[in-house]
């Protein structure tokens, strides 16, 4: 009896064994496609979209419109990120920081990634057109074009100022949030546009210092790989000051209240302090006066994210208050 039952048990075990890997494979594939959209970058982009909608509405915006804009913005940013990974797959395979991306590991084929990128691009346009307006749709689509063509294809591998001008693509969520509410543009969103533009270099350049060896390996001229830590640190300081100055310009332009004003001053002062600290440590390290300062740039990288989040949170809170 035992010998006749073995094939049945073997067959059952085979079915159970094949079902589990199949489920795991599906989860891994879904996770790989999510990874193509660079969800961590996506979170940062949405931070600069939703608060602007509160400012544009001068209070609480239509929550369904906020949800629709967040979904559309996610599709747009995801499309741009996916195109970027498709185009950069030749250098991603040579960089430690990007060696686990799905196109490098083979989890997703280049053809599938390209189809996915175009699908998201079309979906975001249809979605924005259906739930917002033509101006918002145009801005979102142009943001994809700018990031993919201007930054990834033209600037990234040709100039150390790549992140300065390529960072313009990351400024568009500010305009998208505003136009989704008003179907028009004004000076206030342009001030915030410039704020994000000025913030991007001091945000990204410290990261490029940490991964300078990777950029050297792939011949991508990021400033952190082409200049000394002290030179990059000085640029970070200058851009940090310019960012904070721009944030204060919003006070008279948009009639911001005490919450935003205090936040821009306090958090801006902290951002500038961290930038100066990195510069000082870099100069000392270059002169051989300080050891272990190579990790300091990441403090500014993380501080920049916190700074932008808190300032834009103040942008959202300020219009809700009576003072």
Residue 287, class by beta-carbon neighbours within 10 Å (0-12 exposed, 13-18 middle, 19+ buried)? exposed
The predicted structure's pLDDT at residue 5: 42
Query: Among residues 160, 183, 206, which one ends one of the domains?
Result: 183
Q: How many domains does the chain have?
A: 2
Q: Are residues 270 and 139 in the same domain?
A: no
57-61, 62-66, 85-89, 284-288: segment of lowest average pLDDT = 284-288
Determine what percent of the chain is predicted with pLDDT higher than 70: 90
Q: Are residues 87 and 179 in the same domain?
A: yes
Question: Do the domain assignments include residue 114?
Answer: yes
Mean pLDDT of the 21-28 span = 73
Question: Do the domain assignments include residue 4?
Answer: no
Question: Do the domain assignments include residue 259?
Answer: yes
Query: Among residues 183, 200, 223, which one ends one of the domains?
Result: 183
Mean pLDDT score of the chain, rounded to an integer? 87
Question: Do the domain assignments include residue 10?
Answer: no
Mean pLDDT of the 42-51 span = 85
Count of C-beta atoms within a 10 Å radius of residue 2: 6
Distances in whole angstroms, Cα of residue 181 to Cα of each of 56, 59, 61, 72, 145 = 6, 11, 7, 14, 23
The predicted structure's pLDDT at residue 69: 96
Distances in whole angstroms, Cα of residue 124 to Cα of each of 63, 148, 184, 291 = 19, 15, 19, 49
Q: Are residues 139 and 258 in the same domain?
A: no
What is the full DSSP assignment across 66-91? HHHHHHHHHHHHHHHHHHHHHHTHHH
Question: Do the domain assignments include residue 210?
Answer: yes
Q: Are residues 84 and 217 in the same domain?
A: no
The predicted structure's pLDDT at residue 1: 41
Residue 3 pLDDT more than 60?
no
Q: Are residues 133 and 271 in the same domain?
A: no
The predicted structure's pLDDT at residue 44: 78
Q: Which helix (H) or strand (E) holds 123?
A: helix 110-131
Q: Are residues 170 and 233 in the same domain?
A: no
The answer to whether 250 and 264 are in contact (CB under 8 A) is yes
The answer to whether 220 and 91 are in contact (CB under 8 A) is yes
HSE toward the beta carbon, residue 17, CA cutoff 13 A: 6
39 vs 134: which has the higher pLDDT:
134
Quickly state the pLDDT bin for 290 (edges 50, 70, 90). low
Q: Are residues 157 and 209 in the same domain?
A: no
Tell me: the pLDDT tens digits for 117-175? 999 999 999 999 999 999 999 999 999 999 999 999 999 888 888 888 888 999 999 99
Q: Are residues 253 and 125 in the same domain?
A: no
Query: Among residues 183, 212, 238, which one ends one of the domains?
Result: 183
Q: Are residues 173 and 195 in the same domain?
A: no
Rounded to the nearest 10°, the torsion over CA 178, 116, 78, 29 is 140
Rounded CA separation 321/258 (Å)? 9
13-22, 44-53, 291-300: segment of lowest average pLDDT = 13-22
Quickly state the pLDDT bin for 24 (edges 50, 70, 90). low
Residue 284 pLDDT more than 50?
yes
Residue 7 pLDDT more than 70?
no
Question: Do the domain assignments include residue 272?
Answer: yes
Q: Which domain holds residue 82?
A: 35-183
Distances in whole angstroms, Cα of residue 112 to Cα of each of 37, 103, 115, 119, 132 = 13, 10, 5, 10, 29
CATH of the domain at 281: 1.20.120
Question: Do the domain assignments include residue 25?
Answer: no
**Token pair of 275, please?**
């930038």
Mean pLDDT of the 179-207 span = 95
The predicted structure's pLDDT at residue 293: 45
Q: Are residues 168 and 202 in the same domain?
A: no
Question: Do the domain assignments include residue 208?
Answer: yes
């Amino acid at each position: 009896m035992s010998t006749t039952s073995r094939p049945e048990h073997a067959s059952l075990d085979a079915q159970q064994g094949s079902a589990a890997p199949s489920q795991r494979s599906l989860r891994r594939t879904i996770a790989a496609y999510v990874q193509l959209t660079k969800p961590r970058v996506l979170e940062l982009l949405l931070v600069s979209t939703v608060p602007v909608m509160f400012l544009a509405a001068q209070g609480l915006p239509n929550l369904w419109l906020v949800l629709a804009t967040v979904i559309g913005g996610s599709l747009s940013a995801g499309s741009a990120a996916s195109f970027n990974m498709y185009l950069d797959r030749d250098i991603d395979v040579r960089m430690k920081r990007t060696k686990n991306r799905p196109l490098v590991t083979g989890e997703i084929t280049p053809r599938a990634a390209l189809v996915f990128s175009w699908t998201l691009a079309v979906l975001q346009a249809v979605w924005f057109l259906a739930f917002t307006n033509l101006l918002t749709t145009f801005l979102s689509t142009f943001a994809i074009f700018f990031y993919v063509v201007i930054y990834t294809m033209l600037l990234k591998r040709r100039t150390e100022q790549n992140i300065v001008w390529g960072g313009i693509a990351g400024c568009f969520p500010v305009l998208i949030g505003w136009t989704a509410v008003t179907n028009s543009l004004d000076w206030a969103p342009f001030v915030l546009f410039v704020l994000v533009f000025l913030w991007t270099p001091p945000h990204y350049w410290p990261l490029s210092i940490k991964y300078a060896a990777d950029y050297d390996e792939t011949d991508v001229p990021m400033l952190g790989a082409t200049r000394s830590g002290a030179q990059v640190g000085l640029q970070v300081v200058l851009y940090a000051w310019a960012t904070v100055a721009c944030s204060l310009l919003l006070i008279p332009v948009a009639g911001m209240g005490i919450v935003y004003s205090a936040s821009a001053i306090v958090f801006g002062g902290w951002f500038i302090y961290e930038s100066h600290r990195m510069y000082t440590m870099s100069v000392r390290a270059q002169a051989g006066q300080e050891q272990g300062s190579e990790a300091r740039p990441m403090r500014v990288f993380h501080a920049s994210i916190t700074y932008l989040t808190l300032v834009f949170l103040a942008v959202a809170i300020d219009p809700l208050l009576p003072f």
